Structure 1
Amino acid sequence: MRQPVRARLLRLATLLTVLPALVTLTVSPATAHPTGQDVTGSDENRTRAWVEKRLKDMSVEEKVGQLFVTYVYGQTADTTDPADVAANRAAHGVDNAAQLIDEYHLGGVIYFGWSNNLENPHQIAELSNDMQAVATEDDGAPLLVSTDQEQGIVTRFGPPATAFPGNMALGAVRNPWAAGAAAVVTGAELKAVGINQNFAPVADVNVNADNPVIGVRSFSGDPGLAADLTAAQVLGYQGLGGVTATAKHFPGHGDTDEDSHVSLPRITHTWEEWQRLDAPPFEAAIDAGIDSIMTGHIQFPALDDSLLPATLSHDILTGLLREEMGFDGVVVTDSLSMAGVRETYGDDRVPVMALAAGADMLLMPPDIELAFDSVLAAVESGEIGLDRLDGSVRRILTLKHERGIVADPYADLDRIDHVVGNRLHTAVTTVVTEASTTLIRNEAETLPLGADSGGVFVTGWGQSTTASVAQRIADRGVTASSYWAGTSPTDAAVAEAVARSASHDTTVVLTNGAWRNAAQARLVDALIDAGRTVVAVAVGVPYDIATHPGVDASLATYSYTGPALDSLVEVLYGEVNPSGRLPVTVPTAEDPQIPLYEFGHGLRYP
């Protein structure tokens, strides 16, 4: 395959430059604390002394506040923007972040695009710094500032931040170094803008092709591979990445066909199946020294036959996670606004029950005032003992001190442009992403396309994605056009795509969830039936190939990020030899128990 000299030198430079990260990732967790600190002797004593002094000086209200993490609208801590102020009043009864932190003594905040927190790196860093200034006034504890930067389809901090294709793509690479390097880069960029906790990695093992909420967010359907990559990311985030990692969603959300955002899924694994399938990545995360673990809003009868959601289950959070698995870090709930945890109990009871079950940090209650007052009342009545409250606050404060947030909670504004999206980070994502693209089927050596292979028509899922792929092809001097057929193509859209494909030699059709979307599958079948040369590309889960097994060629990118599309077109034209391997088994469409392509399958060019 053609490998330009510049590209080879770039890869070599990348590998040499990130060698320190590789060294970090191969140090035994038994000898390296995830913070990079020596926690023996004086450092450990200093942490303990600071924590115990803070506990002694805190009021009950301040302790209760440390348990809560929530969102707030606005690009500044003291926003006066009318829309943000109105949204904050409706959600929290305050005008802005500064008032919210003061009112509830928050332990943390979480950033989203929809809450208008993430405009650009400098704005994010200044927001983080200003909120930390509010939190630490009068010797208060600094905040855990978090987001969900899983990469791939769950990416909160966008351009110019470095984009990776996500966990399942890393599973296709099959290399802990790649997963660790992605975590180092992602963590370093989060830290540069004052975000010190990432709600990643997803440690769920996706063994159900119909899973609507995990899918490509999972590394793999193989528990061993998922465990190896989870551990690598924990060490990457908490080592050179410099941020707290959070494995989710305990005890394992990988085998469900329901979404806990809108319902309460039930996992029917036996105890033995849980040990074999779900537990390994969480065990690996704990062995790697992970700071925090997030609960899942799922029923797991084999672990707790009361059918309480795991978030509210003492058997699961305390009996299993704490006592049997030995985890003594911070347990954070998934969002308490999700239907999966609100289905049976009121919003006043859910935070109290989660705390009683063994959770430490209570994420995004739907009504912060009600949640705060309910926990405070439970402490004052004795339902939640002071020792139990102190235990959670002690863990939270210990994390903040050991992670260095107490010593320096602020982002360095002068370093942002040197870190976020820099050339080294871009090179790392290029190397990682190129190694993930997977060639599943290639009949009659349809691929790679030659320079003389004629015009290419790009259609299918994703308005900007189809256009972007066509543009990348056109940039190579090839005649290319695109037509977005829609997320669920209508009969008219299918007919239009088939008609347009007639004037091109090759049709590239993008799918995203055709496995569960009959309309997308119908588009691919119509193009095949019309006698076109069809290359199908799954830009989401790779299970889509099961709906069109007779296609001329099939690829999986697991993602539609810019680097993933770059790699796709490079593979189409033989500039990169595909090396990814399926991180899951693809079942036949007729019977999910019969494999169509086994875990580990992946073709290369001669």
Structure 2
Amino acid sequence: MHQTPPPQSTSRRQILAGAGAAGIAAALALPGSTASAATPDEERIRRTARALLKRMSLKEKIGQLFVVEVYGKSADTEHAKNKDLYGVSTPAEVITKYRPGGVIYFDARRGPDNLKDPQQIAGLSNGLQRASLRTGARVPLLVSIDQEGGSVVYRMLEPATQLPGNMALAAGRSPGDVRRSSEIIGTELAAMGINQNYAPVADVNINPANPIIGVRSFGSDPSLCSQLVAESVRGYHRGEVASAAKHFPGHGDTDTDSHTGLPVINHTRRQLEDIDLPPFRAAIARGVDTIMTAHIVVPALDSSGVPATMSKPIVTGLLREELGFTGLIVTDALDMGGATEDFPPDVAPVRALKAGCDQLVLAPKTDVAHAAVLEAVESGDVTETRLDASVLRILEHKLRNGLFPRPYVDEKRAVGVVGNRRHTADCTRITGRTITLVRNENGTLPLSAAKRTVLVTGWDASQVGTVADTVGKRSGQAATPLATGAAPGAAKIEEAVTAAGQHDVTVVLTNAAASAADKGVAQADLVKALAQTGKPVIAVAVRNPYDIRRFPDVPAYLATFSYTKTSLTSLVQVLYGDIGPAGRLPVSIPELDEGGGTLYEFGHGLGY
């Protein structure tokens, strides 16, 4: 059993600011280094990074390019999947074998099952860092995660504070709330040894049919998105975790999911300048650490038809040279369909590196990917100068974020930081300001406190149950949960209609009801059938706010943009008028028919 490293009395950034990069170099015993109490500047960081680089073998340099996943809850956990993927049994052995620049954590939904509780996660981080610091050049790891907030892309469950996602925060229109949300997420991640969050999403979601971005975006207005992306970056930095704006050059106008296919963004260069690029410019101006590329084709920027991740004109020409970004460029996951469709495991990592990417996230067939990059460098297809440029940026990033000389965290302290009372109280207040009332005919809302029976029905048993339980705890209220699923059939719809007739009011939850898929049509049929009972019906979109396109005549309609427990609790408070609906739409909602008008404009929101 390993011992927990001693608590850190100062933050990583304080260590860097207090000791200076020269002091870090001394701690690492780099040749010719001398300690200094002076505040470090970028030149000192570069000088230290160059000294580190000289100590590294070619294989160690190549290892720094890769961000890998590992299976298990501790560094010493044996897992069959590690053996299948890497030929070794434990996460620590994966680090020793490949000497990667980073790891990325996932929960059991993807498979790696790295995340159980704060102390365990901190222990895993410490164990992986220990393995990295015992290997070769002894360079600490970037430990990454996708924790965007909201209900779509998140890995940490409770006790981690479940903050609202970007579109919900944008509905609240408070830069301070955005900043505080990111700070809370960052503080909790840092306490567990996670030093890189792949957030915020900087995409401008102007396509209601977008299947992959949606509520992950701050909305459809480039100015609002730019302001809030910058505040999010600022918040992560306050929380002492590195931030990553994604997905460059903008994934907001697509109806294809890049996890399964290769989207094409047909914006002109002027549209890109007006819509897609402003949030990335704002992130760069705010000092974002990292930018993640997208697996999307953008003909106006590169006519070759390759995804942005593999495009030198986009990665190097636009992002590096034109926008002047000097930080770390990482790929979106290279095992996604948008990357694997035309680029096999021995091609994708080399093409991304040649395009100008610094780190290669989740490259499939790691042995093949490593060998391909090694062969490309040894053959001169990728020059060692090009390789060194990326490795230097990776090392500088780690130095700048204070990962040298000891990247460990206090495992017991993590328990007190993650999900603490102050964080959850702030989360409750912030979430309460995001609920948006879009339609309210004939004074349907707020509901009176008089005794009444409420049917809660619609999408997902867990969310229906949460709302029903919350309503049922109110004095004089009785609630019945009846989940109908994502695609209710005729029998389930009839069951809900019968139940609605036996209750005073019905609350129906929808998710993706605006979708053209069968589930969208079926959910819309449910809402319409409930509305025909003559009893009050309140529809609530718990993800994208566009669902009302399919049932525009529903008596009352709210958007929560999220189905976290806190969002649903805030919803019930709004239903009964405990708090007013303060949110305003961060997108416009068009009519369902193509070429039709606008149902609700950007900025629309009703109050009580």
Q: TM-score, normalised by structure 1?
A: 0.92
Alpha-carbon separation, structure 2, partners of 1:441 and 1:98: 54
Alpha-carbon separation, structure 2, partners of 1:303 and 1:592: 28
Alpha-carbon separation, structure 1, partners of 2:141 and 2:169: 31
Deviations 1:72-117 (A, max 9, x none): 100111113xxx2x11111222211111111111100000013110
Does the 8 Å contact 1:546/1:589 carry over to 2? yes
- Deviation of the 1:233 alpha carbon: 0.6
Question: Could you tell me which of 570, 576, 579 is aligned with 2:582?
Answer: 579
Deviations 1:549-599 (A, max 9, x none): 111111000000011011100000000011000000001111355210000
Alpha-carbon separation, structure 2, partners of 1:142 and 1:429: 32
Does the 8 Å contact 1:125/1:193 carry over to 2? yes
Alpha-carbon separation, structure 2, partners of 1:349 and 1:58: 25
- Match of residue 134 from structure 2: 137
Question: Could you tell me which of 597, 600, 606 is aligned with 2:600?
Answer: 597
- The amino acid across from 1:196 in the alignment is N
Alpha-carbon separation, structure 1, partners of 2:366 and 2:173: 42
- Match of residue 175 from structure 2: 176
- Deviation of the 1:43 alpha carbon: 4.1
Unaligned runs of 5+ in 2: 1-12, 22-37
Does the 8 Å contact 1:506/1:534 carry over to 2? yes
Question: Could you tell me which of 367, 373, 376 is aligned with 1:375?
Answer: 373
- Deviation of the 1:414 alpha carbon: 3.2
- The amino acid across from 2:560 in the alignment is T
- Match of residue 105 from structure 1: 99
- Match of residue 366 from structure 1: 364
Question: Could you tell me which of 36, 40, 45 is aligned with 1:47?
Answer: 45
Residues 454-469 of structure 1: pairs in structure 2 closer than 5 A? 454-469=452-467
Alpha-carbon separation, structure 2, partners of 1:44 and 1:202: 27
Alpha-carbon separation, structure 1, partners of 2:562 and 2:39: 46
Alpha-carbon separation, structure 1, partners of 2:234 and 2:545: 28
Alpha carbons of 1:436 and 1:595: their partners in 2 closer, same or farther (altered >3 Å)?
same
- The amino acid across from 2:207 in the alignment is N
- Match of residue 307 from structure 1: 305
Matched, 1:547 2:541: no
Residues 168-317 of structure 1: pairs in structure 2 closer than 5 A? 168-238=167-237, 240-317=238-315
Residues 303-382 of structure 1: pairs in structure 2 closer than 5 A? 303-382=301-380
Deviations 1:425-460 (A, max 9, x none): 011111110000000011111111011161110000
Alpha-carbon separation, structure 1, partners of 2:63 and 2:83: 19
> Which 4+ residue blocks in structure 1 deviate beyond 4 angstroms?
35-41
- Deviation of the 1:146 alpha carbon: 0.4
- Match of residue 124 from structure 1: 121
Alpha-carbon separation, structure 1, partners of 2:88 and 2:504: 60
Deviations 1:230-255 (A, max 9, x none): 000101101x2101101100000000
Does the 8 Å contact 1:453/1:505 carry over to 2? no
- Match of residue 404 from structure 1: 402
Alpha-carbon separation, structure 2, partners of 1:61 and 1:301: 36
Alpha-carbon separation, structure 2, partners of 1:36 and 1:246: 22
Alpha-carbon separation, structure 1, partners of 2:94 and 2:405: 23
Question: Could you tell me which of 59, 62, 71 is aligned with 2:69?
Answer: 71
Alpha-carbon separation, structure 2, partners of 1:91 and 1:564: 39
- Deviation of the 1:417 alpha carbon: 2.2
- Match of residue 441 from structure 1: 439
Alpha-carbon separation, structure 2, partners of 1:36 and 1:294: 27
- Deviation of the 1:547 alpha carbon: 1.0
- Deviation of the 1:328 alpha carbon: 0.9
Count of residues in Structure 1 that have an aligned counterpart in Structure 2: 568
Deviations 1:399-428 (A, max 9, x none): 000100113311112321221001110111
Unaligned runs of 5+ in 1: 1-31
Q: Give secondary structure in 2 for the equivalent of 1:109.
A: strand
Q: Give secondary structure in 2 for the equivalent of 1:415.
A: helix
- Deviation of the 1:469 alpha carbon: 0.1
- The amino acid across from 1:525 in the alignment is K
- Deviation of the 1:225 alpha carbon: 0.6
Alpha-carbon separation, structure 2, partners of 1:403 and 1:592: 49
Residues 506-585 of structure 1: pairs in structure 2 closer than 5 A? 506-516=505-515, 517-585=520-588
Alpha-carbon separation, structure 2, partners of 1:36 and 1:533: 60
Q: Give secondary structure in 2 for the equivalent of 1:302.
A: coil
Q: Give secondary structure in 2 for the equivalent of 1:373.
A: helix
- Match of residue 468 from structure 2: 470
Q: Give secondary structure in 1 for the equivalent of 2:139.
A: coil
- Deviation of the 1:36 alpha carbon: 7.8
Question: Could you tell me which of 71, 74, 83 is aligned with 1:89?
Answer: 83
Deviations 1:27-64 (A, max 9, x none): xxxxx99x988999644344223211110010000000
Does the 8 Å contact 1:74/1:116 carry over to 2? yes
Percent identity, aligned pairs only, is: 51
Does the 8 Å contact 2:500/2:533 carry over to 1? no
- The amino acid across from 2:103 in the alignment is V
Q: Give secondary structure in 2 for the equivalent of 1:576.
A: coil
- Deviation of the 1:265 alpha carbon: 0.3
Does the 8 Å contact 2:49/2:392 carry over to 1? yes
Matched, 1:115 2:109: no
Alpha-carbon separation, structure 1, partners of 2:232 and 2:93: 35
Alpha-carbon separation, structure 1, partners of 2:562 and 2:391: 39
Q: Give secondary structure in 2 for the equivalent of 1:64.
A: helix
Alpha carbons of 1:249 and 1:36: their partners in 2 closer, same or farther (altered >3 Å)?
farther
Alpha carbons of 1:420 and 1:36: their partners in 2 closer, same or farther (altered >3 Å)?
farther
- Deviation of the 1:530 alpha carbon: 2.0
Alpha-carbon separation, structure 2, partners of 1:442 and 1:453: 21
Deviations 1:112-158 (A, max 9, x none): 01311001111100000000001011551000000000011211011
Matched, 1:413 2:435: no
Does the 8 Å contact 2:459/2:509 carry over to 1? yes
Deviations 1:239-295 (A, max 9, x none): x21011011000000000000000000001000000011001100000000110000
- Deviation of the 1:532 alpha carbon: 2.1
- The amino acid across from 1:163 in the alignment is Q
Q: Give secondary structure in 1 for the equivalent of 2:452.
A: coil
- The amino acid across from 1:137 in the alignment is R
Q: TM-score, normalised by structure 2?
A: 0.92
Q: Give secondary structure in 2 for the equivalent of 1:414.
A: helix
Alpha carbons of 1:406 and 1:537: their partners in 2 closer, same or farther (altered >3 Å)?
same
- The amino acid across from 1:221 in the alignment is S
Q: Give secondary structure in 2 for the equivalent of 1:213.
A: coil
Does the 8 Å contact 2:574/2:581 carry over to 1? yes
- The amino acid across from 2:208 in the alignment is A
Does the 8 Å contact 1:172/1:580 carry over to 2? yes
Alpha-carbon separation, structure 1, partners of 2:452 and 2:74: 52
Does the 8 Å contact 2:170/2:218 carry over to 1? yes
Q: Give secondary structure in 2 for the equivalent of 1:566.
A: helix
- The amino acid across from 2:604 in the alignment is H
Q: Give secondary structure in 2 for the equivalent of 1:244.
A: coil
Question: Could you tell me which of 425, 434, 457 is aligned with 1:427?
Answer: 425
- Match of residue 30 from structure 2: none
Alpha-carbon separation, structure 1, partners of 2:346 and 2:337: 14
- The amino acid across from 1:119 in the alignment is K
Does the 8 Å contact 1:437/1:555 carry over to 2? yes
Alpha-carbon separation, structure 2, partners of 1:345 and 1:108: 22
Q: Give secondary structure in 1 for the equivalent of 2:277.
A: helix
